[in-house]
């Protein structure tokens, strides 16, 4: 029997890579929202390669084309919970695994036996799982995933992503009474979207779990809320004596219209050049910029909207909060060789009433909470705002300075920080 796998023969690299790149813009329901992990693998690539490594190589050209098209569809983000595609992928994996088990055990093993738990599903081992993308997708495809890592942060991510939702994300025998109360949310997602693995329900599972409906209560979610509230009340009880009640009332939310950044009147060809440079910078961020962006995007820091690689006149700044007129620059080693150009660039931008906070790249990479605290401290309104000129003269000397600074600061390509 030939045991060559599909991934050894062919794989739609370009299409899967395109779907993987799209994940950077997905924030809701994505594993990356649990915790920032610098070496996280894309879910699309993890799901596609896991499937291709577990099914046999195609028998002919038609089989090859069918499998290729299926992998492309399977790797799409919108198909992550598609019950028909996932069921087809699991059955294909189980069929290949049943054939291998039959050869090893000397008797016929069927897909139904694997689904019923009478034969073991394929095992996927990942001893350096990091952010957990690969074992998560292996679970989604019906495999038994075994994952670990040396880094204790990665181990905690793996437990919160893979282990605890499977153990405690649905009613279980002996769970505490306060977790069994009905939640406020009345509707539930389809059962196929609530679980990642196939198999028989345990005999002592609650009746709701043995049915077709999704559980009406999530004990894990209820426990997090319950103990979070408990910790809050304990902290309030023990610390309130050190604070004067009502001295620091929470600020009332104010609906603000985001102002547009002040713009210099620059030649059209220069404006287009800066937009293109900004676009290239966004496609190729430095490691420290990517880490900081994942913490700032989507108004995660105090509800303030940040833009990344924002063109302002003849310059492109790393991050910009228009509502607070705040520029955040991440300075790597390259900036030590261009301090004069950086200082002149900052002086010109500050002449527009913009404010700066500069962060060392190693601070962002090694101590992100401290970097965010610096930004938070700088977000307070400027006590004496500088004048906001609407334009700068278009004299030859000024444009010459712009072009000189543009060459010094950027050149044609962004240099690594």
Task: Say what the alpha-carbon torsion angle 39, 45, 48, 51 is, to the nearest 10 degrees.
Answer: -10
User: Which range has the worst mean pLDDT, 58-62, 252-256, 367-371?
Assistant: 252-256
Please name the residue that has the structure tokens 């738990």.
117
94 pLDDT more than 50: yes
Q: Write down the pLDDT at residue 220.
A: 83
Query: Could you tell me how far CA 86 lies from the centroid of its own chain?
Result: 22
Question: At which residue do the structure tokens 């404006």 appear?
Answer: 271
Tell me what pLDDT residue 411 has.
43
Question: Is a pLDDT exceeding 90 seen at residue 141?
Answer: yes
Provide mean pLDDT across the span 158-169. 85
For residue range 175-184, list pLDDT tens digits in order: 777 676 644 4
356-364 mean pLDDT: 90
pLDDT bucket at 193, cuts 50 / 70 / 90: very low
Residue 209 binned pLDDT confidence (cut-offs 50, 70, 90): very low
Mean per-residue pLDDT over the chain, rounded: 78
Rounded-to-integer distance, Cα 340 and Cα 165, Å = 53
Average pLDDT over residues 235-261: 63
- Specify whether the CB–CB gap between 404 and 315 falls below 8 A: no
Q: What pLDDT does residue 168 have? A: 83
pLDDT tens profile 42-51 = 999 999 999 9
> What would the pLDDT profile of 3-20 be if each residue is shown by its tens digit?
889 999 889 999 999 998
- Which residues are CB-neighbours of 405 under 8 A, at least 6 positions away? 314, 315, 341, 344, 345, 348
Is residue 334 predicted with pLDDT exceeding 90? no
Q: Can you identify the CATH homologous superfamily of domain 268-409?
A: VSR Endonuclease (3.40.960.10)
Q: How many of the other CB atoms lie within 10 Å of CB of 288?
A: 23
How much is the pLDDT for 341? 81
Mean pLDDT of 296-300: 89
Q: Where in the chain is the domain with CATH 3.40.960.10?
A: 268-409
Q: Please report the pLDDT score of residue 386 as a whole number.
A: 42
In this predicted structure, what is the pLDDT of residue 67? 92
Sheet with 315-321, edge to edge strand ranges: 307-312, 315-321, 326-331, 355-360
Q: How many percent of the chain have pLDDT more than 70?
A: 75
pLDDT over threshold 90, residue 137: yes
């Amino acid at each position: 029997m030939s045991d060559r796998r599909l991934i050894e023969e062919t794989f739609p690299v370009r299409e899967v890579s395109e779907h993987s790149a799209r994940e950077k813009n997905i924030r809701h329901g994505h594993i990356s929202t649990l915790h920032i992990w610098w070496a996280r693998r894309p879910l699309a690539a993890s799901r596609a390669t896991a499937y291709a490594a577990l099914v046999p190589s195609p028998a002919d050209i038609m089989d090859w084309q069918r499998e290729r098209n299926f992998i492309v569809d399977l790797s799409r983000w919108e198909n992550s919970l598609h019950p028909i595609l996932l069921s087809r992928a699991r059955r294909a994996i189980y069929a290949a695994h049943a054939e291998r088990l039959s050869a090893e055990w000397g008797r016929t093993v069927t897909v139904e036996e694997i689904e019923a738990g009478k034969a073991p599903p394929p095992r996927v081992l990942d001893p350096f799982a990091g952010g957990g993308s690969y074992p998560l997708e292996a679970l989604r495809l019906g495999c038994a995933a075994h994952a670990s890592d040396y880094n204790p942060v990665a181990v905690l991510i793996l437990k919160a992503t893979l282990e605890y939702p499977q153990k405690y994300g649905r009613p279980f025998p002996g769970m505490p009474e306060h977790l069994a109360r009905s939640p406020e949310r009345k509707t539930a997602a389809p059962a196929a979207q609530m679980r990642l693995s196939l198999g028989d329900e345990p005999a002592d599972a609650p009746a709701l779990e043995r049915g077709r409906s999704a559980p009406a209560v999530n004990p894990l979610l209820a426990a997090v809320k319950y103990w979070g509230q408990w910790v809050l009340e304990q902290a309030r009880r023990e610390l309130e004596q050190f604070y004067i009640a009502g001295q620091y009332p929470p600020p009332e939310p104010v609906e603000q219209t985001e102002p547009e950044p002040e713009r210099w009147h620059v030649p059209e060809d220069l404006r287009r050049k800066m937009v293109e440079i900004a676009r290239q910078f966004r496609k190729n961020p430095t490691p420290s910029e990517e880490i900081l962006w994942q913490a700032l995007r989507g108004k995660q820091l105090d509800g303030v909207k940040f833009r990344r690689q924002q063109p302002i006149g003849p310059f492109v700044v790393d991050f910009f909060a228009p509502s607070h007129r705040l520029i955040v620059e991440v300075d790597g080693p390259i900036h030590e060789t261009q301090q004069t150009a950086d200082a002149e660039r900052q002086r010109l931008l500050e002449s527009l009433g913009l404010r700066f906070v500069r962060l060392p790249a190693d601070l962002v990479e090694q101590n992100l909470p401290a970097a965010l605290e610096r930004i938070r401290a700088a977000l307070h309104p400027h006590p004496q705002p500088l004048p906001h000129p609407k334009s700068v003269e278009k004299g030859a000397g000024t444009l010459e300075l712009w072009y000189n600074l543009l060459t010094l600061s950027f050149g044609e390509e962004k240099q690594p920080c």
